[in-house]
Amino acid sequence: MNQIAFTKSHQALFTFYRVFAFVIFLLLAFACASQKAPSLKPKSDAQLHYELTPLLEQHQTRVQVDLYFHGNERGQSELLLPSTWGNGKGLAKKIESVQVLEKNITLTHLNVQNRIRVTYPPKTPRVAIRYIYKLPQPPQDFRNSSELRPFGNHEFIHLIGETFLIHPDWHPHTKRPVLVKWLLPAEWQGFTSLSASQARLSSIDLKTLRQSVFVAGALFIKHLPNESAVLVAPQNVGLSAPIINGIQKVLHNANQFYTAQNASPLLISLFPIGTRCCDYKGLSLHNALTLMLPKNLMPNTNLWHLLSHELLHRWNGQVLKRKVNDEQLIWFNEGVTDFLARKINYESGLITLKDYVTGLNRALWRWQHTKPNQTRLSHNDHMMLRYAKGELLSLQIDEIITSDTKNKHSWLQTLKDMTQMPAQEVSKEQLHELILKNLKTKLSREALAKIQELLEHKNTQPPQNIGECIRLFKDQGILVYKYKNGICG
């Protein structure tokens, strides 16, 4: 009897230990499972995730780029490398040391130019690639570097997506979540035109990614909430109150003509590049403007004109776009934008009548001195001729419209009406049709016929009169505009 009781007690104790051991095992297993396994990269909902780290070496500035993306079911993706930007070619040569950061991933350089195949286990949640991008130094002037847009040194970095980003190939119109983060030295700050906050995902298409701007450095930062913009510049630029106030006024004037619909503030970057007095270049991309300016920057007409011109490209160039390779529309994209910038700045009081006429004479001089020698012009001269021709055509069209309507309508108002049209790409013929359709109910048949002739570039001539006080004269064989005191109508 006692033996049986002992045996039952022993079995019960053994069962208790087994249950206790099993419970301990479950608790340990749960504790291990609840701990995050060490990973190369924190989780993100982005399908594309970039981390940008400046490498500030003594004689060279580089950017380390870590790219993370979701693998597909095939276990294979093709990565596109940068190729061309403007007149610049061979951009992939500036990319060094492309490598994988995880096991079971391989890279194969394809015979197809500027493509790499990456192979991984199907549905890999995070494919990690690292490469180094070698930045050119900022140019000292623009005589031979009109297309040199990405640059960097120990003070600042300026990048454009299309010039340095490697990315998986995808359909141009498909939007994907993208996250970009700067990993910077303590005294630096970074910005991107994709989003006002680095922590926020941006759902964008491929073109937007390529046209995005990335800026970092020890920066002066000025938020302009009334104009939905943020102004950044290297701290040594010394942006004075008159410059900032002028920039705000230019922004206000341009927004009165056309307001771009962007979720994030416009990123305006100013960089001291040129050494000459008149080194001014600008660039308008996705939700971003970059102005490259003389180092001894002062508030002046050239600055206001450049900023206005690039702001107006947010409509004429990005909303109303010329079809690819339609060179015959550069006069409209650039010359009409010059006309708008100068006209708006003058009518708002930002520039004087003297400044306005000086600008017109600069365009007139270009037209007279380049037109007779078109076969021997450089690429830059050809571009400047189109700028000048577009502005002179605009002045002619404006004269026809104001004369025919007795100043009730103008070319400026016509262009403003056109900003209400939806985004579209146009050929030369489609643009002419849009302009004439907009003017059809406002002008006589004779006036419409004259404008149609001008649009065909059959009779490009500077108008004799601009408003009430600007007249065309011939001075020592050169056509110039002169003005009398008073207000131009």
Q: Which of 290, 314, 338 is the last residue of a domain?
A: 314
Task: Specify the range with the lowest mean pLDDT, choosing from 60-69, 89-98, 120-129.
Answer: 89-98
Q: With the C-alpha atoms ordered 21, 25, 30, 35, is the resulting torsion angle positive or negative?
A: positive
Tokens representing residue 220 in the block = 């002066």
In the chain the first and final C-alpha atoms are separated, in Å, by: 124
Q: Quick one: 61 and 185 in the same domain?
A: yes
Q: For residue 97, what pLDDT is reported?
A: 86
User: Does 16 reside within a domain?
Assistant: no
Q: Quick one: 235 and 137 in the same domain?
A: no
Q: Return the closest-CA partner of residue 306 out of 255, 349, 254, 357.
A: 254
User: Does 319 reside within a domain?
Assistant: no
User: Does 287 reside within a domain?
Assistant: yes
Q: Quick one: 459 and 400 in the same domain?
A: yes
Q: What's the CA gap between 272 and 292, in Å, rounded?
A: 6
Tokens representing residue 272 in the block = 């001291």
The answer on pLDDT for 53 being more than 70 is yes
Q: What's the CA gap between 158 and 191, in Å, rounded?
A: 10
The answer on pLDDT for 130 being more than 70 is yes
Residue 237 falls in which region: left (phi positive, over 0), alpha (psi -120 to 50) or beta: alpha
Q: Quick one: 177 and 193 in the same domain?
A: yes
Q: For residue 375, what pLDDT is reported?
A: 58
User: Does 384 reside within a domain?
Assistant: yes
Its pTM stands at: 0.85
User: Does 37 reside within a domain?
Assistant: no
Which residues on neighbouring strands pair with residue 127, listed in sequence order? 69
Q: Quick one: 258 and 183 in the same domain?
A: no
Q: How many domains are there within the chain? A: 3
Q: Calculate the average pLDDT of the chain.
A: 83
Q: Quick one: 399 and 387 in the same domain?
A: yes
Residue 461: pLDDT band by 50, 70, 90 thresholds? confident
Q: Quick one: 144 and 184 in the same domain?
A: yes
The answer on pLDDT for 397 being more than 90 is yes
Tokens representing residue 338 in the block = 């010059």
User: Does 159 reside within a domain?
Assistant: yes
- Please report, for the domain that includes residue 447, its CATH number: 1.10.390
pLDDT per position as a tens digit, 229-268: 999 999 877 788 999 999 999 999 999 999 887 768 899 9
Half-sphere exposure of 485 (CA within 13 A, CB side): 0
Q: Where are the beta strands (DSSP E) in 259-324?
A: 266-274, 281-285, 288-294, 320-322
CB-CB contact of 272 with 281 (8 Å)? no
CB-CB contact of 232 with 267 (8 Å)? yes
Locate all alpha helices (DSSP H) within 126-220, ordered by sequence: 161-164, 206-210
Count the neighbouring beta carbons within 10 Å of the beta carbon of residue 160: 22
Q: For residue 278, what pLDDT is reported?
A: 63
Q: In terms of residue numbers, what domain contains 356?
A: 325-483
- Please report, for the domain that includes residue 158, its CATH number: 2.60.40.3650
Per-position b or e across 413-445, b if 16+ CB within 10 A of its CB: bbbbebeeeeeeebebeebbeebeebbeebbee
CB-CB contact of 152 with 135 (8 Å)? yes
Q: Which of 168, 189, 216 is the last residue of a domain?
A: 216
pLDDT per position as a tens digit, 14-43: 565 565 555 565 555 545 444 433 344 444
Residue 118 falls in which region: left (phi positive, over 0), alpha (psi -120 to 50) or beta: beta
Name the percent of the chain lying above pLDDT 70: 80
Count the neighbouring beta carbons within 10 Å of the beta carbon of residue 91: 18
**Helix (H, G, I), strand (E, B), or coil: what is residue 27?**
helix
Q: Quick one: 65 and 175 in the same domain?
A: yes
The answer on pLDDT for 441 being more than 60 is yes
Q: What's the CA gap between 94 and 150, in Å, rounded?
A: 11
* DSSP H or E stretch at residue 344: helix 337-347
**Close Cβ partners of 183 (under 8 Å, ≥ 6 residues apart):** 51, 52, 53
Tokens representing residue 240 in the block = 């004075």
Q: Based on C-alpha coordinates, what's the Rg of the chain?
A: 30
CB-CB contact of 401 with 468 (8 Å)? no
User: Does 8 reside within a domain?
Assistant: no
Q: Return the closest-CA partner of residue 347 out of 356, 338, 336.
A: 356
Q: Quick one: 360 and 266 in the same domain?
A: no
> What are the φ/ψ torsions at residue 314 (nearest 5 degrees)?
-65, -25
Q: For residue 143, what pLDDT is reported?
A: 55
Q: Quick one: 288 and 204 in the same domain?
A: no
Tokens representing residue 247 in the block = 């920039």
Residue 445: pLDDT band by 50, 70, 90 thresholds? very high
- Please report, for the domain that includes residue 282, its CATH number: 3.30.2010
Residue with tokens 């920066």: 219
Q: Quick one: 64 and 210 in the same domain?
A: yes
CB-CB contact of 194 with 264 (8 Å)? yes
pLDDT per position as a tens digit, 152-169: 888 899 999 988 999 988
Per-position b or e across 215-237, b if 16+ CB within 10 A of its CB: bbbebbeeebeebbbbbbbbeeb
Q: Quick one: 204 and 56 in the same domain?
A: yes
User: Does 153 reside within a domain?
Assistant: yes
Q: Which of 314, 344, 376 is the last residue of a domain?
A: 314
Tokens representing residue 370 in the block = 């380049």
Q: For residue 16, what pLDDT is reported?
A: 55
Q: What's the CA gap between 46 and 180, in Å, rounded?
A: 9
